[in-house]
Structure formats: C-alpha cells, structure tokens
Amino acid sequence: MKAWRRFKRSYVLYSFKRDPVAIFSFSVLAILSLISVLAPVIAPYNTYDTATFDILDAETPPVWMGGGNEDFLLGTDIQGRDLLSTMIYGLRVSMLIGCGAVLLQAFVGILIGLFSGYVGGKMDAFLMRIADIQFSIPYLIVAIFTSAIFKLAFGVGRYEELAVPLLIIIIGISEWPKYARTVRASVLGEKNKEYVEAARVIGISRWLIMFRHVLPNTMTPVLVISTIQVAEAVMSEAALSFLGLGMPITKPSLGALIRSGFEYIFSGSWWITFFPGVLLVILILVILLLGDWLRDVLNPKLYKG
Amino acid sequence: MNGTDGLLRIKDLVKHFDISGGLLDQLRMEQGRIVRQRTTVKALNRVSLTLPPQETFSVVGESGCGKSTLARTILGLYPPDEGEIYYRGDRIDHLSPKDMLPYRTKMQMIFQDPYASLNPRMTVKKTLEEPVYFHNKAISSAEVKDRVATVMDQVGVDPKWANRYPHEFSGGQRQRISIARALMVDPEFIVADEPVSALDVSIQAQILNLLMDAQEKRGLTYMFITHDLGVVKHISARVAVMYLGTLCELAPTADLFRSPMHPYTRALLSAIPEVGKRKSKHIKLKGEVPTPINLPSGCVFHGRCLYARDRCKAHIPPLREVGKGHFAACFYVDAPAPSG
Amino acid sequence: MGHLLEVKDLEVKFALWFGTLTAIDGISFTLDRKEKLGLVGESGAGKSVTGFAIINLLSKPGYISKGDILFEGQEVTTLSDEALRDLRGKRISMIFQDPMMTLNPVLTIGTQMIETLQAHENISTSEARDLAVEKLRRVYMPSPEKRLGQYPHEFSGGMRQRIVVAIALLANPSLIIADEPTTALDVTIQAGIMDLLTELCETEDMGLILITHDLAVVSQVTERIVVMYAGKIVETGLTDVIINHPGHPYTQGLLKSIPGGFQPGARLNQIPGMMPTLTHIPPGCAFHPRCGLSRSVCERETPALLRTGERDQMIACHILGRG
C-alpha cells in the first residue's frame, strides 16, 4: 500500500501522464496483451482445431470487399481459416515467444554478468570471451541447424508440438551476452562502492553480497534494455517464421502468417499478408516507444528533483 | 597474549597494487624492442604501528599517502603482501573468512562518502538489521527490532524512520546511520576513514560529538583517518603522519603540534590555514607530489625536502625516537634550516 | 568611481516539476577592483548559484526572477547572448572546483588556450601562442612552452588548477569568480593556489569572489566576507571583524563549532539540526529553528540586513541586530 502511494506521487507517474506517446503505447500494448491472453474467449474461431474450418472457404476476401463473407471479417487464408482469429492466436504466440525468450536471456545473462563482474580476474576474462564467441555466431545459423536437426530426429509432428519452447530457447540463448555485458558494467561500478565494503567488513560472504547488495542496484539498466530485447525477440521470431524455420503453418505466429500469404499477394489475396504484417508492426512499434519513454524516465541524469 | 601489544598492532605492513592491466596493456616499445612493463602502486611501504586501547589514534596525510589503504588492509579488505597484523595479540592477517568472523564483530569501519556507504535499495531497517542477523543466527526478530531502535536513538536518528530509504536522508543523517551500522555488532575498534570530510562544518561538529560520546559510553578505540588537522588536534591522543606509504612521524598530539620534527610535518602544519590567524609565510615545498607508482629512492620525501642531503637519496631513514613517545623517520631532524 | 560589481536585490528561482523554489531570496553586495570578497556558506546556502547568476550562466530550470547585477556600471541580467559572450571569459572569468570542468581531456592545453583567445580577440595563432605561454609563466608553470603540447591527464590536480587560472587570465578579466577552487586539492597545493590568486589580484588589478565553505581559507585570503544561509545574506563585513567578532548567531555558531584544539577532548559547540532544503524553508528568519536566541518575532518576520555598531558590519537578526 505504501509503495503504491509512493508511486502515485513519483516522477515516473508524473512524466507518464504528460507524455501522450507513452500513454498511447502503453494503452495499445495493454489492449494487445489482453487480447492475446483472452484469445480463446475473444477469437471468433479456434483455428487450431482443424474441424472448424473448411478448405473450400480458402482465400475469401475481407467482409467489405466483393466476395466477402460476414463470417470472416478479415477474410480467410489459404487453408480456409478465419484470418482475424488466426491473427489473434498468432499475436498470442508471438508475444509468448518474445517474453519467454527475454526471460531466458535475462536469467542466464544476469547470472553470468553478476558473477563475472564481481569475481573479476581470469574468470571474468574467460566468461566474457565466451560471450564474444556466442555473440559472433548468428542466431540464424543456430536456428537453421537446430530446427533442421530436430525435425530430422523427432519428426515434423513432434517439432510442431515443441516449436514454441524450442524457439524460446534458440532466441533466448543467442542474446544472453547483451544482458551479461550490461549487468557486468553495472557491477563493476557498484562493487567498489563503500556499502559493498561495509558488507565485507561485517563479514558477509561474497555470494550474499552479490545477490543481496549488488544485484538489486544493477536492475535499472536491465529494465531499460528489456523492452528493446522483447521487441527484438518478437522480430527475430517473425523473421525465423517468415523463413520457414519458426512456427509451423498449423500454429502460425504473425511471421508465419505473413509468409503463408506471401506467394498470394500478386494473385490477389493481399490481405493474408497485409493484416498480420500491420499487426506485427504495431506490436513492435508500441513496445519500442514505451521502451524509449522508460529509458528517458529512468535516466538519473535527466531526473529533475 | 602480550599485554604491551596494545589493542591492534601492525608490523612492517606492505601493500602494493599491480595495475599493469592485461598482457596487451603491458607491452611497450623501447629502443626498437617490445618490452613488458609492469606498473605497481606502492601504497604501503613497511608501516608499523601500535594502537593502545580506548584511545583515538589519528593518521594524517595528503592524497596518495596510503592512509585509506592502511585502513582497509587492517580490516582485512586487502590481504597484505608482507607484514603482520595482530588484534589483542592474535595474528589476523591471512585468516580464512570463516576464521575471521569472530573478529568482524570487534572491528568495524565508517566511510567517507555518506552517499555511497549505504545501499540505496535497502531500507535503514534492513541495513541495520543485517549485521545483527548475520552474527546471531538464533536471535529473535523482536530483539533485533529493539536493538535497531536503541542504536538509532543513540546516533540521533528517529527510529520511526527506519523504513525509509537512504535517499530520503541528508548527508549528515546518512553518516549517523553508517555509524549506527558499525555500532550494531558492539565493536571494540572502529576505523573511521575521513568520516566528516564530506559534511558541512556545522554537521561535522555534530558527528564528531556523536563519535566522542560513543567512545566514552562504549570504551571504543578509534583509528581516525583524516587530512583535517583541526579535527586531529581536538580528538586524538596520538598522531601518525604518512607520506607516500611511509610513516614520517608519530607522536602524542600536543607534541606533534608544538614541535614537529619531520620536514614534511613542518611543511604540512605551516600550510594548513587556521581560522583567525593570518599566516605570514608558509613553507613552500619544491615540486609536485610524486605518485606512489614511481617511488623515489631512499627517503620518499627527499625530492621536495629543503634539508635533503646525499644520504637521504640513497638510504631510507628508519623511524627513531626523538622525544618521549615521539618518533620521526629522518636523518637530520636536528639540522638547522637551510639558508636562503 | 562606481563599484566593479554591484548586486542589488537579486532573486533566483528554479521552476521544477513539483513547484517553483526560491534559491536566492534578495541579496545585495558590492565588490571593487583589487578587492577579495569571500562568499561563505554551507552546501545549499546558494553561494554557487550566486556565482553562476553573476555571469548569467544559470541553466534551466533556474532563472533570475528579480534584481540587478551591474558590472562596471553595465546591467548584466538583460544582456543579449552576443553581449554575454563578450562578458564571459573576457571580462569576468570563473574557476570551478574540478579543473576537469574547464579542461577538455581530448585537447592539448595549447589548443584550448589558443582557442579561447581567438574566440575573444582577432589575433593570429602565433600571437595567441605567445600570450598563452606568458600566462602560463604568470602562474609559475615550469617550462611553459613544453606544456602547450601536453594533455590535461599529464598534469597533477594542482597543476591543472593552475592551468585553469591561466586560462581564466587569458583575456585580462577584471573579475574572477572562484567556486571552491581548492576544496579538492591537497593542503600543501591549496596554499600555493591561494597565494597565486592573491598575488594576481594585486598585480592584474582584478577583483576576486571566493566562494567556499572553508572559513579558514577565507580568513587568510579575503578582505570582506558575505555569509549566506538558505538563500539570504545573514552577515557581511570585514573579514577580520567577522572572524573575531561574529555578529549573527549562525556565524557565531559556525566559528565555535570548528575543531581547532581550543579544548581538546571537550564536546564541540554544535548547531542543532541542519540547513533547510529549498522546499522547506521556515517562515520568518530561516535560521530560527536552530537558533538558541529565537523568539516569537523570529518566527513571524524575516529580519532585514542592518548595520551594527561595528565598521561596515551588517547582520540580519531581530535579537542581535539593531532595530
């Protein structure tokens, strides 16, 4: 309760209320999140259930165009699925993978960065070299290998079941160095501060100091890069799916949807690519805009009073 | 356990820091060949001291003299490269963290910067409770709460504010909280590293009074690190003057100010401005303060000393007794001032 | 002949996100050539803000809300940017606590000094170079010609501050404002810098405003003192008079709380509480909550700065002042 009262009086809320872009992005993101959480309730059709659609309905245009059908507001895709519903489920998958991947990156990266920065010396050099190597391997190559090998080993059916966790792991593992480097930089600054020395004088062990004293003070930059990382994870997943390496067409993400409609743009069914594309752009844009505002607000140098 | 050993005794303490950097940073071109150069900061060079119990012992010097390193080495934050540290006759340098634990409740530290000495993300309550819980696993939360309130009272911070964060307090109040943290474990010995330098004059007086009261009530021994000779005059029984990691002079306070023996001490005392007394001339030292990286040979002060002679360049003067309890590290303490 | 600098009823405010704060609440003082004035106070008193205001260096959200600043008879607060650039660095120079606030770490000393000179005067590079060398010599910098090619990090703190003083002297200013110039320096170096500034005031016919919290330095160097508290002047007068017979309870308390071995071991005289922050300035006399002499009038009315019996001394106190 006290924390809430403190928040209400804070500069963060004050700045938020004054920034129309922040308010807009936050609202849109909130709506999109709500939609993706409530997907089974909101979507007109459950497009994962093959019984709900019919291939004869394929490539129906949106309702306001000639040949449109009231049952399918934004038209249907090449398999006859309602585009609107598929987009809603796709949004859900995209956001799930985006957030999941970032949680994984952050967990691994923060732990490594914390340890590396505090302990220093040869261990630090070693871990940072591993981070460099990791960074130099393009995640695309990793993704191609992993998904190809997986499909070969376990079959396409199994792949489709495990696509989401697999993608979370691939995208998550590729980006942990970013968190590691960010946290390490903060830790290097904090570990020489007097409150850490005071903790050592009390006799507190190195591990306790790392987690209880240093870690909480490195969270601000982590928060700032997290929004960008979520946007990037969503984009990475979309790119992978677009290349056919990500979500399968049976459980498409927005990227997979864009791909599935790509060949049909010039034959006339432009909506299959267009609407998912617009939704994807909106999603990424609001995340980035919100991240921009957050970065400015949390910047101690710009903090006024 | 030798009774004359004093509460804390250090013998020939040496601490050097290697700041050479990685392999690539060390390489230099010298006369057409690649040469590997190591850079060492020689922060402490054979310092020996004995601190009697329940007294305030001050260490003064300018930046680079090693006083902060001395404080941290004594408390075990840096392991010494050479030398010995004894606490009540027990040898405590190079103990394992586990073996060091019992001494951690007896020896504490107060720092200079009130803004960096408290964890910004921990409430005052958590900061003060932590040392107690750490050393007393079985203590009840009610008892800890009590102790926190008592000590906060003693340092002059309202216990009702225990749930606030450091940034809600002023510099002086934060310093009080830091002192409270040091007192929570009921120590015998406190090292204070410039505890009032970052505070305003009127707050300095408050904090100094607080420290003196605590000393009286608890029978504390202080090692006071400072560059402010006024503070030294007021609260210390004995003073040590350091220059470039070496002890120049060691004397009871009154003696040091009345008859400083070492040339550096004399220059230092003449340079410090005093309120109300216009100094006609102060002793001007030659040159700049050299860094602890390239220590001069022989006496560390010889390059700036007006009395320096050949012997000073070649040999390090030992600390010798020049009066009752008064020691100076200089070959020529009795020499007359140079002419011109 | 008028004063070199005249500050009249200066008011400085800060427009922050939660309200407007008054940092300086109506202060007035004067300064003449060759005179050294100490602007004394603890942190938060407003002395640095005063220094910035004089050369109109206040950045948003700070601004001068009222008052006049007359430099050599000319009103500074209403000057155009163009005219201000002519003033700053040329006729009034400022020295800061951290020499690295003035010195650019990626440029050599020579480049910085020549650049500064050429910004103010139309002279050739070689002329500027000679002038720079001359100024470095003025501040007793050994081998000045060689120094021009060196970078700030190659100098110690004390040397850097000397370079800063040399840069401040480049355009032969009439006034130097020094904001805590020696606080970050070692004592033995500090003495050298203060001697230098004192000497330069005499030889270059300049005025000096020394902003500091260090009463000891001020008592050695200055002729007059202005004591500030919570944005107001509480006492002003000759240095010798104020140091030996302080008139205002705050100044008295301050001088008594400096440890100096008068009674080693005894408790120091302490002023209870602390200087109010700008958001919580008490009504009436800002010092009254901490003052042992305070009475009901002190809580209601702000005391005016009035003369005491002593020569040139003025204090703002209902109890100890006159009237």
Q: How far apart are CA A58 and CA A289, in angstroms?
A: 37
Q: How far apart are CA B261 and CA B329, in angstroms?
A: 9
Q: What is the ipTM of this complex?
A: 0.86
Is B76 near chain C, with CB under 8 Å? no
Give the H or E element holding residue C22: strand C19-31
Q: How far apart are CA C237 and CA C242, in angstroms?
A: 6
Chain B's closest residue to A206, CA to CA, is B97
Q: How far apart are CA B25 and CA A268, in angstroms?
A: 64
- Please indicate whether, in this complex, the C-beta atoms of C16 and A304 are within 8 angstroms of each other: yes
Q: Which of C156, C191, C264 sits opposite B271 (nearest CB)?
A: C191
Q: How far apart are CA A1 and CA A19, in angstroms?
A: 26
A210 — phi, psi (to 5°)?
Answer: -60, -45
- Please indicate whether, in this complex, the C-beta atoms of B116 and A195 are within 8 angstroms of each other: yes
Q: Considering only A148-152, A178-182, B222-226, B284-288, which range has the smallest mean pLDDT?
A: B284-288
Q: Are C66 and C9 in contact (CB under 8 A)?
A: yes
Q: How far apart are CA A167 and CA A175, in angstroms?
A: 13
A partners (3+ CB pairs within 8 A) are B, C
> Between B35 and C287, whose confidence is greater?
C287
Q: What is the third-level CATH fold of B105-224+232-236?
A: Rossmann fold (3.40.50)
- Which residues pair with residue C96 across a beta bridge? none
What mean pLDDT is reported for chain A? Answer: 85
Sheet holding C36-40, edge to edge: C92-95, C175-179, C207-212, C36-40, C224-229, C232-238, C314-315, C306-307
Above 70 in pLDDT, residue C286? yes
CB pairs under 8 A between A and B: 56
- Which residues pair with residue B42 across a beta bridge? B16
Give the distance from residue A9's alpha carbon to the nearest chain C alpha carbon, in angstroms: 10
Q: Which of C188, C261, C272 sits opposite B267 (nearest CB)?
A: C188
Give the distance from residue A63's alpha carbon to the nearest chain B alpha carbon, in angstroms: 56
Q: How far apart are CA A203 and CA B137, in angstroms?
A: 14
End-to-end, the C-alpha distance of chain B in Å comes to: 53
Q: Which residues are CB-neighbours of A236 under 8 A, at least 6 positions away?
A: A101, A139, A171, A174
Give the H or E element holding residue C6: strand C5-16
User: Which amino acid would we find at residue A74?
Assistant: L
Is C17 near chain A, with CB under 8 Å? yes
End-to-end, the C-alpha distance of chain A in Å comes to: 23
- List pLDDT tens digits, range C262-285: 667 778 888 888 888 888 888 888
Residue C84 three-state SS? helix
Virtual torsion, Cα B160, B162, B166, B170, nearest 10 deg: 30
Give the distance from residue A16's alpha carbon to the nearest chain B alpha carbon, in angstroms: 22
Q: How far apart are CA B91 and CA C294, in angstroms?
A: 56
Is B266 near chain C, with CB under 8 Å? no
Virtual torsion, Cα B59, B65, B70, B73, nearest 10 deg: 170
Q: How far apart are CA B67 and CA B227, in angstroms?
A: 10
Chain B's closest residue to C260, CA to CA, is B230
Using alpha carbons only, what angle is made at residue A238 by residues A235 and A242, rounded to the nearest 5 degrees? 140
Give the distance from residue C309's alpha carbon to the nearest chain B alpha carbon, in angstroms: 21
Q: How far apart are CA B194 and CA B113, in angstroms?
A: 8
- Please indicate whether, in this complex, the C-beta atoms of B273 and C191 are within 8 angstroms of each other: yes
- Please indicate whether, in this complex, the C-beta atoms of A14 and C16 are within 8 angstroms of each other: no
Residues of chain A contacting C, Cβ within 8 Å: 11, 14, 304-305
- Please indicate whether, in this complex, the C-beta atoms of B178 and A198 are within 8 angstroms of each other: yes
Q: Above pLDDT 90, what percent of chain C?
A: 23
C partners (3+ CB pairs within 8 A) are A, B
Q: Are A93 and A48 in contact (CB under 8 A)?
A: no
Is B30 near chain C, with CB under 8 Å? no
- Please indicate whether, in this complex, the C-beta atoms of C61 and A304 are within 8 angstroms of each other: yes
Average pLDDT rounded to a whole number, residues A167-176 = 88
A11 contacts on C by Cβ (under 8 Å)? 17
Per 3-state DSSP, chain A is made up of helix, strand and coil in percentages (nearest 5) of 75, 0, 25
Residue C138 three-state SS? helix
Instruction: Specify the pLDDT at position A16.
Output: 81
Instruction: Specify the pLDDT at position B1.
Output: 39
Residue B111 three-state SS? coil
Q: Which of C189, C244, C257 sits opposite B202 (nearest CB)?
A: C257
- List pLDDT tens digits, range A217-271: 998 889 889 989 999 999 989 988 888 888 888 888 888 888 888 878 777 788 8
C190 contacts on B by Cβ (under 8 Å)? 271, 273
Homologous superfamily, domain C5-238: P-loop containing nucleotide triphosphate hydrolases (3.40.50.300)
Average pLDDT rounded to a whole number, residues A144-149 = 79
Q: How far apart are CA B53 and CA B44, in angstroms?
A: 24
Is C280 near chain A, with CB under 8 Å? no
CB pairs under 8 A between B and C: 117
Chain C's closest residue to A12, CA to CA, is C17
Of A192, C266, A215, nearest in space to B111 by CA = A192
Rg (CA), chain A: 23
Sort residue A244 into left (φ over 0), alpha (ψ -120 to 50) or beta.
Answer: left
Q: What is the third-level CATH fold of A37-298?
A: MetI-like fold (1.10.3720)
Angle between helices B171-183 and B201-218 (to 10 degrees): 10
Q: Which residues are CB-neighbours of A195 under 8 A, at least 6 positions away?
A: A213, B116, B117, B118, B119
Residue A191 three-state SS? coil
Count of alpha carbons within 13 Å of C197, Cβ hemisphere only? 35
Tokens 């600098």 locate to C5
- List pLDDT tens digits, range A13-26: 877 888 888 889 99
Mutation for C interface: A8, A10, A304, most C CBs within 10 A: A304
Average pLDDT rounded to a whole number, residues C296-312 = 83
Q: Is the backbone peptide bond immediately before C61 cis, with ω within 30 degrees of 0?
A: yes
A27-41, A67-81, A91-105, C82-96: range with highest mean pLDDT: A91-105
Q: How far apart are CA C149 and CA C140, in angstroms?
A: 17
Q: How far apart are CA B251 and CA B321, in angstroms?
A: 10
Q: How far apart are CA A192 and CA A200, in angstroms?
A: 11
Instruction: Specify the pLDDT at position B337.
Output: 55
Is B178 near chain A, with CB under 8 Å? yes
Q: What is the largest CA-CA distance in chain A?
A: 78
Q: Which of C188, C219, C271 sits opposite B62 (nearest CB)?
A: C188
Please return the burial class of A249, using the count of CB atoms within 10 Å of its CB with bins 0-12, 13-18 and 19+.
middle
Q: Which pair of structure tokens corresponds to residue C120? A: 């103010």
Average pLDDT rounded to a whole number, residues A125-135 = 90
Instruction: Specify the pLDDT at position B197.
Output: 85
* Domain chopping of chain A, boundaries: 37-298
Chain A's closest residue to B129, CA to CA, is A202
In three-state form (DSSP H/G/I as H, E/B as E, the rest C), the secondary structure along C261-272 is CCCCCCCCCCCC
Give the distance from residue B315's alpha carbon to the nearest chain A alpha carbon, in angstroms: 37
- Please indicate whether, in this complex, the C-beta atoms of B200 and C258 are within 8 angstroms of each other: no
Residues counted in chain C: 323
Q: Which pair of structure tokens corresponds to residue C123? A: 């002279």
Instruction: Specify the pLDDT at position A303.
Output: 45
- Provide the pairing of β-strand C62-71 with C74-75: antiparallel
A215 contacts on B by Cβ (under 8 Å)? none
Within chain B, which residues score under 70 in pLDDT?
1-5, 21-25, 276-281, 286-289, 335-340
Handedness of CA B265, B270, B272, B277 (dihedral sign): positive
C274 contacts on B by Cβ (under 8 Å)? 170, 172, 200, 202-203
Mutation for B interface: C213, C274, C278, C291, most B CBs within 10 A: C274
Q: Are B80 and B43 in contact (CB under 8 A)?
A: no
Handedness of CA C233, C238, C240, C246 (dihedral sign): negative
Of B71, B91, B99, nearest in space to B182 by CA = B71
Angle between helices A139-190 and A219-242 (to 10 degrees): 180
What mean pLDDT is reported for chain C? Answer: 87
B121 contacts on A by Cβ (under 8 Å)? 216-217
- Which residues pair with residue C14 across a beta bridge? C21, C62
Is C15 near chain A, with CB under 8 Å? no
Above 60 in pLDDT, residue A90? yes
Q: Considering only A109-113, B56-60, C126-130, C268-272, which range has the smallest mean pLDDT?
A: C268-272
Average pLDDT rounded to a whole number, residues A48-72 = 76
- Please indicate whether, in this complex, the C-beta atoms of A11 and C61 are within 8 angstroms of each other: no
C188 contacts on B by Cβ (under 8 Å)? 62, 267-268, 271, 285, 289
Q: Which residues are CB-neighbours of A205 under 8 A, at least 6 positions away?
A: B97
Give the distance from residue C173's alpha carbon to the nearest chain A alpha carbon, in angstroms: 33
Q: Which pair of structure tokens corresponds to residue B180? A: 């409270």
A305 contacts on C by Cβ (under 8 Å)? 16-18
C275 contacts on B by Cβ (under 8 Å)? 200, 202
B268 contacts on C by Cβ (under 8 Å)? 187-188
Above 60 in pLDDT, residue A28? yes
Handedness of CA C311, C315, C319, C321 (dihedral sign): positive
Mutation for A interface: B78, B119, B223, most A CBs within 10 A: B119
Above 70 in pLDDT, residue C323? no
B228 contacts on C by Cβ (under 8 Å)? 259
- Please indicate whether, in this complex, the C-beta atoms of A203 and B116 are within 8 angstroms of each other: no
Residue C220 three-state SS? helix
Q: How far apart are CA C73 and CA C78, in angstroms?
A: 13
Q: Are C258 and B201 in contact (CB under 8 A)?
A: yes
Q: Considering only B142-151, C81-90, C117-126, which range has the smallest mean pLDDT?
A: C81-90
B100 contacts on A by Cβ (under 8 Å)? 203
C104 pLDDT band, cuts 50/70/90, is: very high
- List pLDDT tens digits, range C171-198: 889 999 999 888 878 787 888 888 888 9
Burial A57-80, CB ≥16 within 10 A → b, else e: bbbbbbeeeeebeeebebbbbebb
Chain B's closest residue to A219, CA to CA, is B121
Give the distance from residue B75's alpha carbon to the nearest chain A alpha carbon, in angstroms: 7
Is B138 near chain C, with CB under 8 Å? no
Instruction: Specify the pLDDT at position A305.
Output: 34
* Domain chopping of chain B, boundaries: 105-224+232-236
